[in-house]
Chain A
Amino acid sequence: MARPRAADVLGRVTLVTGPEEFLAERTVRTVIDAVRTADAEADVTQVDGAELGSGAFSELTSPSLFSTSRVVVVRQVQDAPEEPVAGLLRYAESPDDDLALVVVHPGGQKGRGVVDKLRKIGVVEVKSETPKQYELPRFVTAEVQAEGGSIGEEAAAALVDAIGPDLRALSAAGGQLTHDSGGEPITVDVVRRYFGGRAEVKSFAVADAAIGGDPARSLEQLRWAMGNGVAPVLMTSAFASGLRALARYVSAPRGLKDNDLAREVGVPPWKLRTLRTQARGWSQTGLAAAIKAVARADAEVKGAADDADHALERMVLAVTGARTTR
């Protein structure tokens, strides 16, 4: 969906489908931003399907006393019980003019029925498909342009080559390069200068995948990195810095402007986007467990080097396992 305006989403149901969480989150964001741009006081409510109890849906969509425009986001709709799902479908038949409803479904069989019924009603669907390898440079180009920069085809390919297929990492890298190049076009040389240290970039991609809750991808990238001689301590240090930023992010005071928030958290502003997405699915308890697991792994890789690969795999599993700990 190109940048929608408030009129494009209010009075409608936007159905976000597909496995690429990074893109799905971005779609949700554009809907919220569109409404907020038109009405800064707009009320935004975000829930997971599992949190919806009986009658919860009609309560969510009933008019508010305090604001006219509203956004309601229902994530993981496949986890919602029958009663609220029925309410949702009823609502979709005749949506409220002042409300933008976003329903997110991550793909897969579960909850397929709701998706099909919504499609039948004729809601706006935005698919978040994982891009094919050859589509990735185009993704990078779009990311950089959205940030107000420019990048050539060759440089975009070089960036994909250096960073791998992780969209979040690619987007973050594109953002960083745009930010640091100050309006100059991003060249292959610039990419090499920044991301020539492929080892380090790889370790961040492994950490990002694990923290983002994708153990399979994280393990796959971990094995690739280990096979290519990346030092185990780079892995533990990438995990530590990712979790550290997240820990600061989740306990930062609410309502800060992006620049202040970035300073509070200790990351460059472009990194906030990544953190915002990652923060979903993490509790304080889970984060604490994850940080301790990384500290243990760091001790292990520095002690018994033979066992480093296993120690790192255990770490990835411990971190992804801690993600759902409430």
Chain B
Amino acid sequence: MTVENPPVGRQGVWADLVGQEPIVAVLSMAVDTASAALAGDPSVTGMSHAWLFTGPPGSGRSNAARAYAAALECERGGCGECSECRTTLAGSHPDVTLVRTEQLSIKVDEVRELVRKAAMSPTGRRWQVLVVEDADRLTEQAADALLKSVEEPAARTIWLLCAPTIEDVVPTIRSRCRMLSLRTPPPGAVAAVLTERDGVPEDVATFAARASQGHIGRARALAADEATRSRRRDVLALPSRLHDIGACVMAAAQLIEAADEEAAAIADRLDPAERAGLEQALGVGTRGVRVRGAAASLKELADQHKTRRKRFQRDALDRSLTDLMSFYRDVLMLQTGSGVVLVNEEVRRDVEAMAHRESAENTLRRIEAILECREALEGNVAPLLAVESLMLDLARPE
């Protein structure tokens, strides 16, 4: 079967992979190899059954893994239109298992379940694909449980693991995988997608692409949502406001509150629908039906929602820290004389004022303080306290 060959990266399941042309080229070839192997072509050797997708947040590593999964299942190499493609991308294809966790770690029990599935033949005619979107969250035990299956996969099984960097994945696992690292898409590519596909006006697209620093999801949110833009403006106003200790603790409270609000906005949209879905599945409210364990299942879902909300809060706070970091990077650019276009052009005056007033050394200390705050948050330090400490460091770096 032949398909026409339009430029890669602009069509089918690959269309969403902005600025990742080299990756798309590799994956397209891998899809051809896999098809040849299925067709029984004896010349095919050394096909990869385990892949590790890495890339900075927003580069689209899990999108890339899903697109590849769809292309593997698709009779036409990832047309993006057939039911194989669509169900894979939507997460409902019977032979494609997507594992993503809102929890902080993936436990060994979940992995054992996956490994059982990996040992089975696909229900369809093509591949059994297992996508682990947060391979960096595998516990050591979980990674051990996974190892054998990744090492000696069943003939029709393919593992796709995703993580921010290869260091985030235990060495035993990563040494068995073929690595693919996605890059941060250039702002031009992001802006082009926003205008061409989402119909965003050019000036807004340019702003969103620049401000998101190549994070496509973030760029979309910035382009589409005034509340997101306004939260970002508030964050960028902080560095010039830290004039005394009261201002520092207020600023910290404001950041945490904004993160909570943002998380609530997302969670309030997702939670009720999921709960309603589960209730319907359990037959809750149906006359004469009493489902055993319904209460326990609902309680479990409620717990998951709570954990997920916490993770949303962390993610939102992390985005604010990224914005803050970009502010001080801009300051440093001006101080070292290498700044032409700032990430935060819209607050250039504040950036310039700080660049003149402060030493580059202090700017570096502030950037260091933001990194330390991230570390503290990962170490579970109370978020408000960690951010208060950060604001004090930003106000007066030592």
Interface residues of A, Cβ cutoff 8 Å to B: 233, 236-237, 240, 244, 247-248, 250-252, 284, 287-288, 291-292, 294-296, 298-299, 302-303
| Distance A308 CA – B393 CA, assembled complex (angstroms) | 25
Partner of A288, one of B384, B385, B396: B396
B385 adjacent to A298 (CB under 8 Å): yes
Residues of A within 8 A of B382 (CB): 233, 236-237, 240, 298
B246 adjacent to A250 (CB under 8 Å): yes
B246 adjacent to A247 (CB under 8 Å): yes
Residues of A within 8 A of B376 (CB): 295, 298-299
Report if A247-B245 is in contact (Cβ < 8 Å); known contacts: A288-B396, A291-B392.
Answer: yes
Instruction: Tell me how far the C-beta of B303 lies from the nearest C-beta in chain A, rounded to whole angstroms.
Output: 21
Partner of B245, one of A284, A294, A303: A284
- Residue contacts A-B, CB under 8 angstroms, 10 given: A244-B249, A247-B245, A251-B245, A288-B396, A291-B389, A292-B389, A292-B392, A295-B376, A298-B382, A299-B379
Residues of A within 8 A of B249 (CB): 244, 247-248, 291
B246 adjacent to A240 (CB under 8 Å): no
**Chain B interface extent, by class:** 20 to 34
Of residues 243 through 285 on chain B, the ones whose CB sits less than 8 Å from some CB of chain A are 244-250
Indicate if B45 sits at the interface (CB-CB under 8 A): no
Instruction: Tell me how far the C-beta of A87 lies from the nearest C-beta in chain B, rounded to whole angstroms.
Output: 36
Q: Which 9 A-B pairs have the closest CB atoms?
A: A251-B246, A295-B389, A288-B392, A284-B245, A240-B385, A247-B245, A251-B244, A247-B249, A302-B380
Indicate if B79 sits at the interface (CB-CB under 8 A): no
| Distance A296 CA – B376 CA, assembled complex (angstroms) | 9
| Distance A77 CA – B381 CA, assembled complex (angstroms) | 42
B385 adjacent to A295 (CB under 8 Å): yes
Report if A303-B379 is in contact (Cβ < 8 Å); known contacts: A250-B246, A288-B396.
Answer: yes
Instruction: Tell me how far the C-beta of A241 lies from the nearest C-beta in chain B, rounded to whole angstroms.
Output: 9
Residues of A within 8 A of B245 (CB): 247, 250-251, 284, 287-288
Indicate if B388 sits at the interface (CB-CB under 8 A): yes
Instruction: Tell me how far the C-beta of B310 lies from the nearest C-beta in chain A, rounded to whole angstroms.
Output: 15
A236 adjacent to B385 (CB under 8 Å): yes
Residues of B within 8 A of A294 (CB): 385
Of residues 111 through 145 on chain B, the ones whose CB sits less than 8 Å from some CB of chain A are none
Closest to A295 in B: B389
Indicate if B386 sits at the interface (CB-CB under 8 A): yes
**Contact code string B179-206 (vs A, CB < 8 Å = 1, else 0):** 0000000000000000000000000000
Given contacts A248-B246, A295-B376, A295-B388, 16 further A-B contacts (CB under 8 A): A244-B388, A247-B246, A247-B248, A250-B245, A251-B247, A284-B244, A284-B245, A287-B245, A288-B245, A288-B395, A292-B389, A295-B381, A295-B386, A296-B389, A299-B376, A302-B379
| Distance A247 CA – B395 CA, assembled complex (angstroms) | 14
Instruction: Tell me how far the C-beta of B105 lies from the nearest C-beta in chain A, rounded to whole angstroms.
Output: 16
Residues of A within 8 A of B393 (CB): 292
| Distance A236 CA – B389 CA, assembled complex (angstroms) | 13
Instruction: Tell me how far the C-beta of A15 lies from the nearest C-beta in chain B, rounded to whole angstroms.
Output: 35
B381 adjacent to A302 (CB under 8 Å): yes
| Distance A302 CA – B375 CA, assembled complex (angstroms) | 13
| Distance A299 CA – B374 CA, assembled complex (angstroms) | 12
Of residues 347 through 398 on chain B, the ones whose CB sits less than 8 Å from some CB of chain A are 376, 379-382, 384-386, 388-389, 392-393, 395-396
B246 adjacent to A252 (CB under 8 Å): yes
| Distance A74 CA – B345 CA, assembled complex (angstroms) | 54
Q: Which of A244, A284, A299 has the most CB of B within 10 A?
A: A299
| Distance A240 CA – B249 CA, assembled complex (angstroms) | 11
| Distance A294 CA – B396 CA, assembled complex (angstroms) | 17
Residues of A within 8 A of B248 (CB): 247, 288
Instruction: Tell me how far the C-beta of B381 lies from the nearest C-beta in chain A, rounded to whole angstroms.
Output: 5
| Distance A312 CA – B379 CA, assembled complex (angstroms) | 17
| Distance A303 CA – B377 CA, assembled complex (angstroms) | 12
Of residues 233 through 248 on chain B, the ones whose CB sits less than 8 Å from some CB of chain A are 244-248
| Distance A298 CA – B245 CA, assembled complex (angstroms) | 20
Of residues 269 through 314 on chain B, the ones whose CB sits less than 8 Å from some CB of chain A are none
Residues of B within 8 A of A237 (CB): 382, 385
Instruction: Tell me how far the C-beta of B301 lies from the nearest C-beta in chain A, rounded to whole angstroms.
Output: 27
Residues of B within 8 A of A299 (CB): 376, 379, 381
Residues of B within 8 A of A303 (CB): 379
Residues of B within 8 A of A233 (CB): 382
Partner of A298, one of B244, B381, B392, B396: B381
| Distance A21 CA – B249 CA, assembled complex (angstroms) | 28
Closest to A282 in B: B245
| Distance A187 CA – B271 CA, assembled complex (angstroms) | 43
| Distance A26 CA – B89 CA, assembled complex (angstroms) | 70
B379 adjacent to A248 (CB under 8 Å): no
Residues of A within 8 A of B396 (CB): 288
| Distance A43 CA – B380 CA, assembled complex (angstroms) | 50
Closest to B244 in A: A251
| Distance A98 CA – B249 CA, assembled complex (angstroms) | 42
Instruction: Tell me how far the C-beta of B19 lies from the nearest C-beta in chain A, rounded to whole angstroms.
Output: 37
Residues of A within 8 A of B389 (CB): 291-292, 295-296
B250 adjacent to A248 (CB under 8 Å): yes
Instruction: Tell me how far the C-beta of A192 lies from the nearest C-beta in chain B, rounded to whole angstroms.
Output: 28
| Distance A117 CA – B293 CA, assembled complex (angstroms) | 82
Instruction: Tell me how far the C-beta of A256 lies from the nearest C-beta in chain B, rounded to whole angstroms.
Output: 13
